[in-house]
Amino acid sequence: MGSKKMHEQLPLSGLSDRIGHKIDLFLCCASYEPRSMSIAASLAPGAVAKAVIFYNKEFDAYIRENKEALESLFPASEVSKISASNPVETADAMVEALSASPNTAQNILIDITCFTHEGLLILLQACKISFRAHDRITLAYSAAGEYSVGAKEEDKWLSKGVREIRSVLGYPGIISPGRGTHLIILLGFEAERAQTIIDEYEPEVVSVGISRDATVSGARHSAVNLHTLEKLSENYKEFSAFDFSCVDPAGVASVIEGKRQEHQNLNTVIFPMSTKLSAYGAAIACEKDPSMQIGYAQPEIYNIKNYSTAGDVCHVMELSTLFTLGT
Amino acid sequence: MASNEPYSNPFAVQTPEGMSAEDVISLFVEELTDFHQVPKTSHTFINGPRGSGKSMIFRYLEPDCQSIALSRPTSELPFYSIYVPIKETELNITELARLTEAHGNFVINEHLMTINIAIKAVASLRKNSSITDDNAMASKIWTFYNASVVPLLRQGGADPAPALPPLEEDADAAITHIENTLLEIYAVVLGYLRRLAFPNAQFSYSGPLYGYLDFLKPFLKGMRSHELIPPAVPIFLLIDDADNLNLEQTKILNTWVSYRTTKDISLKLSVQQTYKTFKTATSKTIDNPHDFSMVNIYDIYTSQKNKYRSRVEKIVEKRLRLHGINVPPHEFFPPDVSQEKAIAAIKEKYKADWEKNGRGARPQDDADRYARPDYIKGLRGSSKSGSTYSYSGFDQLVHVSSGVIRYFLEPASLMFALQKSLKPARQVTRIEPGVQNRVIREQADEFLFDQLEKLARDEDDPTAPNRIRKLRNLIDGLGALFQGILLSSAAERRVFSVAMSDAPDDDVRAIFDLGVKHGYFHRSTIGNKEGTGRTDLYILSRRLAPVYTLDPTGFAGYKWVTNDFVRQAIFSPKRLARLIKDRGVDQAVDPAQPTLFDGLEKDA
pTM of the model: 0.86
Calculate Rg over the CA atoms of chain A.
19
Mean pLDDT of A101-110: 82
Instruction: Evaluate whether A273 touches A183 at the Cβ level (below 8 Å).
Output: no
Q: Please tell me the predicted confidence (pLDDT) of residue A309.
A: 85
Inter-residue contact B297 to B52 (CB < 8 Å): yes
- Interchain CB distance below 8 Å, A126 and B194: no
Contacts of A201 (CB under 8 A, 6+ apart): A181, A183, A269, B87, B88
Of B247, B82, B29, B226, residue with least CA distance to B144: B226
Instruction: Locate the chain B residue with the closest alpha carbon to A92.
Output: B198
Instruction: For residue A200, give the 3-state DSSP assignment.
Output: helix
Nearest to B181 by CA among B219, B213, B214, B212: B219
Beta strands per DSSP E along A123-225? 136-147, 159-167, 181-186, 205-211
Interface of A with B in 23-62 (CB under 8 A): 61
Q: Which residues of B touch A292 (CB under 8 A)?
A: none
Residue A192 burial (CB count, 10 A): 19
Whether the link from the prior residue into B329 is cis, omega within 30° of 0, is no
| Amino acid A137: pLDDT | 93
Q: Following DSSP, what letter does each residue of B66-90 receive, concatenated? A: HHHHTT--GGG-SSEEEEEE--TTT
Q: Please tell me the predicted confidence (pLDDT) of residue B201.
A: 66
At B105, the amino acid letter reads N
Instruction: Tell which A residues from 296 to 315 touch B, by Cβ distance under 8 Å.
Output: 300-301
- Interacting residues of B69 by C-beta distance below 8 A, sequence separation 6+: B25, B30, B60
Cβ pair B483, B549 in contact under 8 A: yes
A131 touches chain B (CB under 8 A): no
User: Phi and psi at residue A115, in whole multiples of 5°?
Assistant: -75, 155
What is the rounded distance in angstroms from the CA atom of residue B310 to the CA atom of residue A241?
Answer: 39
Q: What percent of chain A has pLDDT over 90?
A: 57
Query: In this predicted structure, what is the pLDDT of residue A5?
Result: 52
Which residue from A minimizes the CA distance to B51?
A: A199
Rg (CA), chain B: 28
CB contact under 8 A, A160 and B197: no
Distance from CA of B253 to the nearest CA of A (A): 17
- Asked if A296 and A276 touch (Cβ cutoff 8 Å), the reply is no
Residue A315 main-chain phi, psi, to 5 deg: -120, 135
Gap from A5 CA to chain B (nearest CA, Å): 30
CB atoms within 10 A of CB B274: 12
Alpha carbon distances (Å) from B499 to B292, B541, B565: 28, 15, 12
Question: How many angstroms separate the CA of residue A214 from the nearest CA in chain B?
Answer: 23
Average pLDDT, chain A: 88
- The pLDDT of residue A227 is 66
ipTM of the complex: 0.92
pLDDT in tens, A219-276: 656 666 666 666 666 666 678 889 998 888 999 999 999 999 999 999 999 999 999 9
Cβ contacts of A177 on chain B, cutoff 8 Å:
90, 115-117, 119-120, 123, 186
Evaluated on CA atoms B440, B446, B451, B454, the torsion sign reads positive
Helix (H, G, I), strand (E, B) or coil at B580: helix
Query: How many whole angstroms separate alpha carbon B85 and alpha carbon B546?
Result: 35
B233 and B61 in contact (C-beta within 8 Å)? no
For chain B, which residues score pLDDT lower than 70?
Answer: 1-7, 31-33, 129-133, 135, 164, 166-168, 200-202, 299-305, 381-387, 450-465, 554-556, 591-604
Neighbours of A113 (CB within 10 A): 29
Q: How far is CA B80 from CA B40, B67, B414, B501, in A?
A: 12, 10, 37, 47
Tell me the helices (H) and strands (E) count for chain B, helix number first.
24, 10
C-alpha span between B534 and B498 (Å, rounded): 14
State the Cα–Cα distance between residues B514 and B496, nearest whole angstrom: 18
Query: Which amino acid does the sequence have at B289?
Result: P
Q: Which of A96, A300, A306 to mutate to probe the B interface, most B CBs <10 Å?
A: A300
Query: B50, B59, B89: best mutation site toward chain A, by most A Cβ within 10 Å?
Result: B89
In this complex, do A161 and B452 lie within 8 Å of one another by their Cβ atoms? yes
Q: Which residues of A touch B6 (CB under 8 A)?
A: 233-234, 236-237, 239
Determine whether the interchain pair B452/A160 forms a contact, defined as Cβ–Cβ distance below 8 Å: yes
The answer to whether A88 faces chain B, any CB pair under 8 Å, is yes
CB contact under 8 A, A177 and B15: no
Give the contacts of A249 (CB within 8 A, at least 6 positions apart). A7, A277, A278, A280, A281, A284, A317, A320
Give the residue among B216, B296, B236 at the shortest CA–CA distance from B43: B236
Who among B119, B190, B453 is closest to A160 (CB)?
B453
Pick from A157, A181, A231: CB nearest B87: A181
The Cα–Cα gap between B339 and B351 comes to 19
pLDDT score of B114 = 98
Mind telling me how many Å the CA of B96 is from chain A's nearest CA? Answer: 10
Position A222 scores a pLDDT of 65
- Cβ–Cβ < 8 Å for B198, B177: no
Residues of B in contact with A128 (CB under 8 A): 198
Residue A119 near chain B (CB below 8 Å): no
For β-strands A107-111 and A136-147, DSSP reports them as: parallel
Helix H, strand E, coil C: the string for B246-268 is: CHHHHHHHHHHHHCCCCCCEEEE
Contact in structure between A276 and A29 (CB atoms under 8 Å): no
B496, with CB counted inside 10 A (0-12, 13-18, 19+), is buried
Cβ <8 Å between B197 and A165: no
Backbone angles phi, psi at B221, to 5 degrees: -65, -35
* Cβ separation B89–A167 shorter than 8 A: yes
CA dihedral B586, B587, B589, B591 (to 10 degrees): 130
Extended beta strands in B338-426, E state: none
Contact call for residues B55 and B17 (beta carbons, < 8 A): yes
C-alpha torsion angle, residues A88, A93, A96, A100 (rounded to 10): -140
The yes-or-no verdict on residue A102 having pLDDT over 60 is yes
Burial class (CB in 10 A: 0-12, 13-18, 19+), B26: middle
CA distance B2 to chain A (A): 14
Contact A160 B468 (CB under 8 A): yes
Q: Cβ separation of B190 and A172 shorter than 8 Å? A: yes
Q: Phi/psi class of residue B255: alpha, beta or left (left: φ > 0; alpha: ψ in -120 to 50)?
A: alpha
